Amino acid sequence: MNKFDDIRPYRDSEIPAAMRRIAHADAFPLIASFVYPHLTLQQVRERIESFKTIREFQHDTMYKVNEQIIARSIAEFTCSGIERLRPDEAYLYVSNHRDIMLDSSLLQYFLVSQGFETTEITFGANLMTHPVVVDVGKSNKMFKVARPGGSMREFYQGSLHLSEYIRNAITVEKQSVWIAQRNGRTKNGIDATDQGVIKMLGMSETSDKIKALAELHIVPVSISYEWESCDVLKTLEVYESQFMRYVKKPGEDLNSILTGILQYKGRVHIQLCEPISVAELVAFENQTNIAYHKSVANLLDQRINTAYRLYPNNYIAHDLLFGNQRYQSMYTPEQRDAFVHHMARLDRYDSFDLDRLREIFLGIYANPIDHK
Q: Do 327 and 318 touch, CB atoms closer than 8 A?
A: yes
Last residue of a domain, one of 262, 288, 309: 309
State how beta strands 218-225 and 266-272 pair: antiparallel
Residue 337 domain-assigned (yes or no): yes
pLDDT at 71: 97
Continuous segment of H or E residues that includes residue 61 = none
Same domain, 107 and 207: yes
Residue 251 domain-assigned (yes or no): yes
pLDDT tens digit at each of 372 positions of the chain: 689 999 999 999 999 999 999 999 999 999 999 999 999 999 999 999 999 999 999 999 999 999 999 999 999 999 999 999 999 999 999 999 999 999 999 999 999 999 999 999 999 888 887 899 899 999 999 999 987 667 888 889 999 999 999 999 999 999 999 999 998 899 999 999 999 999 999 999 999 999 999 999 999 999 999 999 999 999 999 999 988 777 777 777 778 888 999 999 999 999 999 999 999 999 999 999 999 999 999 999 999 999 999 999 999 999 999 999 999 999 999 999 999 999 999 999 999 999 999 999 999 999 999 988
Same domain, 161 and 184: yes
Same domain, 301 and 159: yes
Number of structural domains (the chain) is 2
Q: Cα–Cα distance between 363 and 366 in angstroms, integer? A: 5
Same domain, 297 and 322: no
Same domain, 212 and 231: yes
pLDDT at 149: 67
Same domain, 263 and 344: no
Same domain, 236 and 331: no
Give the domain CATH number at 81: 3.40.1130
pLDDT at 216: 98
Continuous segment of H or E residues that includes residue 275 = none
| Residue range of the domain that includes 357 | 313-371
Residue 269 domain-assigned (yes or no): yes
Same domain, 342 and 240: no
Same domain, 100 and 139: yes
pLDDT at 345: 97
Same domain, 197 and 236: yes
Residue 290 domain-assigned (yes or no): yes
Same domain, 79 and 157: yes
Report the SS3 class of residue 72: helix
Residue 53 domain-assigned (yes or no): no
Residue 129 domain-assigned (yes or no): yes
pLDDT at 250: 72
Residue 168 domain-assigned (yes or no): yes
Q: Do 62 and 105 touch, CB atoms closer than 8 A?
A: yes
CA-CA-CA-CA torsion for 316, 322, 328, 330, nearest 10 degrees?
-50
Last residue of a domain, one of 309, 337, 363: 309
**Nearest by Cα to 122 from 7, 223, 229, 6:** 7
Q: Count Cβ atoms within 10 A of the Cβ of residue 56 and give its class: 0-12 exposed, 13-18 middle, 19 or more buried.
A: middle
How many other CB atoms are there within 10 angstroms of residue 77's CB atom?
17
How many other CB atoms are there within 10 angstroms of residue 316's CB atom?
25
Residue 5 domain-assigned (yes or no): no
Same domain, 228 and 278: yes
Last residue of a domain, one of 309, 326, 345: 309
Q: Cα–Cα distance between 127 and 285 in angstroms, integer? A: 38
